[in-house]
Amino acid sequence: MNKITVITGATSGIGNACAEIFAQNQHDLIITGRRADRLEKISAELKSEYGVQVLLFAFDIRKRQEVDYFINSLPEAWKDIKILINNAGLAAGFDPIQEGNIDDWEQMIDTNIKGLLYMTRAVSPLMIEKREGHIINIGSIAGREVYANGNVYCATKHAVDALSKGMRIDLLPYGIKVTQIAPGAVETGFSIVRLKGDLEKAAKVYQGYKPLKGKDIAEAAYYVTTLPAHVNINDLLIVPTAQANATTVFKKKV
């Protein structure tokens, strides 16, 4: 088999773009997300376009038993996972803390922190056995800064930052690389999800400047995996040229 790469949240945005680029570069893929129909379509396209093997698992990363089922049902030949891209995640809602929807908080904490932890706990022992592997965590500029109404989402991405540092220390003796990629504004399904399906409001987030595309982040994710065994990139903060920090974006009037 080719190098095996696991991508969570491959049904959309950054994860989908990662699937495309890693397949283009002849990685066999394990792609995950909740939407089975999308996974099936993406899998068929990647197999036919790039001739790689693709396994798909539709599950909710928040559910520990579903993550356990995923790892326990991996065929033997697919256990030699070289790269794990912990990408699945979301922001839900954009409210001040005193008006926040507690279900939204639970969803963000369960997905962005606990889901990432469940996947890492499941996959890292397989990497340890081989003394080789690379975990890429998709953090955010929201893990470096906090902005109005970002409260819980920012907290989950600060947690991804802390966990990336912690994983790097714990996995060091086994030669496993850990890279955090922290994007600024990327035009994906992200704002549509955050704003609960309000397409007009979501489109406005990306108006008046050129945001990143999922592909821009995917190319960086692929790049960090191509470096020699003795070189690791710990951290990348990647923003559109029009974005100086989490709250300062130079927008032209449209």
What are the catalytic residues?
A: 153
Stretch that binds ligand 8X3, among 40-48, 50-58, 134-142, 219-227 (CB under 6 A): 134-142
CB of 124 to ligand NDP, least distance (A): 19
| 177 DSSP β-pair partners | 134
d(CA 231, CA 165): 16
Name the residue type at position 149: N
CB of 146 to ligand 8X3, least distance (A): 10
- What distances in angstroms separate CA 3 from CA 57, 218, 226, 232, one per listed residue? 18, 17, 12, 18
Pick one of ligand NDP, ligand 8X3, none as the site partner of residue 246 (Cβ within 5 to 8 A by kind). Answer: ligand 8X3
- What's the longest Cα–Cα distance across the chain? 56
Nearest to 85 by CA among 173, 192, 3: 3
Q: Does 179 bind ligand NDP (CB under 6 A)?
A: no
Residue 17 and residue 193 in contact, taking contact as beta carbons nearer than 8 Å: no
Residue 68 and residue 79 in contact, taking contact as beta carbons nearer than 8 Å: no
| 183 DSSP β-pair partners | 238
Stretch that binds ligand NDP, among 22-30, 46-54, 88-96, 166-174 (CB under 6 A): 88-96
Which is closer to ligand 8X3, CB of 112 or CB of 124?
112
Residue 50 and residue 81 in contact, taking contact as beta carbons nearer than 8 Å: no
Contact code string over 35-74 relative to ligand NDP, x by CB under 6 A: x------------------------xxx------------
Angle between helices 13-24 and 214-224 (to 10 degrees): 50
Q: Does 188 bind ligand NDP (CB under 6 A)?
A: yes
Which is closer to ligand 8X3, CB of 43 or CB of 112?
112
For ligand NDP, the binding residues in 102-141 under the rule CB under 6 A are 111, 138, 140
Q: Which residues bind ligand 8X3 (CB under 6 A)?
A: 140-142, 150, 185, 246
Contact residues: ligand NDP, CB under 6 A: 9, 11-15, 33-35, 60-62, 87-90, 111, 138, 140, 183, 185-186, 188-190, 193, 214
